[in-house]
Chains A and B, each alone.
Chain A
Amino acid sequence: MTLHRVVVTGLAAITPLGNDLATSWHNLVAGVSGAAPITRFDASAYDTRFACEVKNFDSKPFVAVKLAKRLDRFTIYALSTAMMLMEDAGYKIAPEEAELVSVIIGCGLGGLETLEATHTKLMEQGPSRVSPFFIPTMIANMAAGQVSIATGARGSNVCTTSACASGLHAIGYAASDIMLGRANAAICGGVESTITPLAVGGFNALKALSTRNDEPTKASRPFDADRDGFVMGEGCGLLLLESLEHATARGARILAEVAGFGASGDAYHMTAPPEDGSGMALAMRGALREAGLDASQIAHINAHGTSTSLNDSCETMAIKTVLGAHAREVPITSNKSMIGHCLGAAGGIESVISVKTIMEGVIPPTINLDTPDPACDLDYTPNVARTMAVANVLCNSFGFGGTNASLIFKAFAE
């Protein structure tokens, strides 16, 4: 069997920093925080009353009004992002190759907004008021399903669910589809929209969220000594991947190459990573092995960097384990300092940002990194973006359940 090289030929995102990639990127490089008081529901009784919401998003240019009424917000984000992606890639799926185009979109929680509203209706008005659209609207794979309906892609149609690593797993397995020849192209990434009473209540109960209510824009502070939890975000990040042959044949603009994917499990605890970060290290090593790269060749790390006490110190430990002395020379960044933790969308959006970093030669900063933490003693690109050409970028995502994923994107060279 011949293994195919996998290249990135399109990018699109909706984030708390912008309703398209260009705006989001501009704000990321400028160090803007997307955090603000929650507007989706009355959060006054909650320990955390702010989040990184997507703001003023108008789906009408992308999704028909009637269809939008049948979709949860996460699917509307995915469908809208997919429309922008196909435009960015200049790609239209011909019917004769449709079965060789995969759609793999990760989602950690699915349509909680729909679930909560329907449950309220059930309790107040009884079972006869449950909408026939409830189940199809809520299920987490409806994002992939709707993107397939809209684009005509008829290859693998899958939703990866691995909590906060869902988006990165989706891209990893989509790349595998292409590498193995199961697909010529794949629309892949992650989506999430769960700034809802149940999700905020649930993460609050876990003590996972920052409660810095008086200073929302300072709350997400990955690797800083005063971090007190993550800030919930939402959005969607999608990439178009193609085999190198397919991209070349259609004259596509090649943005980067997917060099390697690694995935692992902690075999340890429901929510906490082992303190040595050994599971995270396994995923990073796996990606290096598949890429055929030495750790010393990693030029930049787009970290998971959640701003929780445990993640940031464990991830730092894992990076040191894998990169050795080189760990101190590599600029690391956490996009979550600005977009918050977009859960199942995180790996999708941060992969888009990783590729954009290669394309632009600019590393977005980790904002709010004011007080060094002795347990986090690497170069996290504090507070100011850095102009620097980077060839090999490692992108990490880790999730509850003890699941870890790492992807390496590299600058494309024939």
Chain B
Amino acid sequence: MSVAEKVKEIIVDQLGVDAAEVLPEAKFVDDLGADSLDLTELIMAMEEEFGVEISDEDAQTIQKVQDAISFIEKKKGE
């Protein structure tokens, strides 16, 4: 499974949204109904799944689905 697919799967699971809603440009708060606790847990789930560390500063920059995918792909590439 690609990083993008796996990230989408985590988002569907954590936020309880429909897979069809998880578009690259969908914003976690405005479009997918996440609150600040949801976002914290989403970041933790991605850290766990991909074995990466996401600092609080980096987490601030992850606002939409594509941000998360790009961030993880970059981290995995390092």
Q: Which residues of A are at the interface with B, using a C-beta cutoff of 8 A?
A: 64-67, 69, 128-129, 131-133, 136
**Residue in A closest to B48 when the chains form the complex, CB atoms:** A129
Bound state CA distance, A67 and B14, in angstroms? 10
A-B Cβ contacts below 8 A, count? 20
Q: Which residues of B contact A69 (CB under 8 A)?
A: 16
B1 on the interface (CB 8 Å rule)? Answer: no
Q: Could you jot down 20 A-B contacts, CB within 8 Å?
A: A64-B16, A65-B16, A66-B15, A66-B16, A66-B17, A67-B16, A69-B16, A128-B44, A128-B47, A129-B44, A129-B48, A131-B41, A131-B44, A132-B37, A132-B40, A132-B41, A132-B44, A133-B37, A133-B41, A136-B37
Contact with A along B23-57 (1 / 0, CB 8 A): 00000000000000100110010011000000000
B17 to chain A minimum Cβ distance, whole angstroms, is: 8
Q: Which residues of A contact B44 (CB under 8 A)?
A: 128-129, 131-132
Q: Which residues of A contact B15 (CB under 8 A)?
A: 66
Q: Which residues of A contact B37 (CB under 8 A)?
A: 132-133, 136
Bound state CA distance, A69 and B17, in angstroms? 13
Q: Which residues of A contact B41 (CB under 8 A)?
A: 131-133
Interface size on B, residues (CB 8 A): 9
Q: Which residues of B are at the interface with A, using a C-beta cutoff of 8 A?
A: 15-17, 37, 40-41, 44, 47-48
**Residue in B closest to A70 when the chains form the complex, CB atoms:** B37
Q: Which residues of B contact A65 (CB under 8 A)?
A: 16
- B interface secondary structure, majority: helix
- A interface secondary structure, majority: helix
Q: Which residues of B contact A64 (CB under 8 A)?
A: 16
B77 to chain A minimum Cβ distance, whole angstroms, is: 23
**Residue in B closest to A65 when the chains form the complex, CB atoms:** B16
Other A-B contacts than A66-B15, A132-B41, 12 sampled, CB-CB below 8 A, are: A65-B16, A66-B16, A66-B17, A67-B16, A69-B16, A128-B44, A129-B44, A129-B48, A131-B41, A131-B44, A132-B40, A136-B37
A31 to chain B minimum Cβ distance, whole angstroms, is: 42
B24 to chain A minimum Cβ distance, whole angstroms, is: 22
B10 to chain A minimum Cβ distance, whole angstroms, is: 13
Q: Which residues of B contact A133 (CB under 8 A)?
A: 37, 41
**Residue in A closest to B37 when the chains form the complex, CB atoms:** A132
Bound state CA distance, A67 and B38, in angstroms? 11
Bound state CA distance, A66 and B38, in angstroms? 10
Bound state CA distance, A67 and B15, in angstroms? 9
Bound state CA distance, A132 and B40, in angstroms? 7
**Residue in A closest to B39 when the chains form the complex, CB atoms:** A132
Bound state CA distance, A128 and B15, in angstroms? 20
Bound state CA distance, A131 and B16, in angstroms? 17
Q: Which residues of B contact A128 (CB under 8 A)?
A: 44, 47
Q: Which residues of A contact B48 (CB under 8 A)?
A: 129
Bound state CA distance, A136 and B36, in angstroms? 14
Bound state CA distance, A132 and B41, in angstroms? 7
A69 to chain B minimum Cβ distance, whole angstroms, is: 7
Bound state CA distance, A288 and B13, in angstroms? 53
**Residue in B closest to A130 when the chains form the complex, CB atoms:** B44
Bound state CA distance, A228 and B15, in angstroms? 47
Per CB-CB distance, the 10 closest pairs between chain A and chain B, nearest first, are A66-B16, A132-B40, A132-B37, A65-B16, A131-B41, A132-B41, A133-B37, A133-B41, A66-B15, A129-B44
Bound state CA distance, A374 and B67, in angstroms? 74
Bound state CA distance, A368 and B17, in angstroms? 49
Most chain B Cβ neighbours within 10 Å, of A65, A67, A131, A136: A131
Bound state CA distance, A131 and B15, in angstroms? 14
A385 to chain B minimum Cβ distance, whole angstroms, is: 44
Bound state CA distance, A132 and B16, in angstroms? 17
A318 to chain B minimum Cβ distance, whole angstroms, is: 47
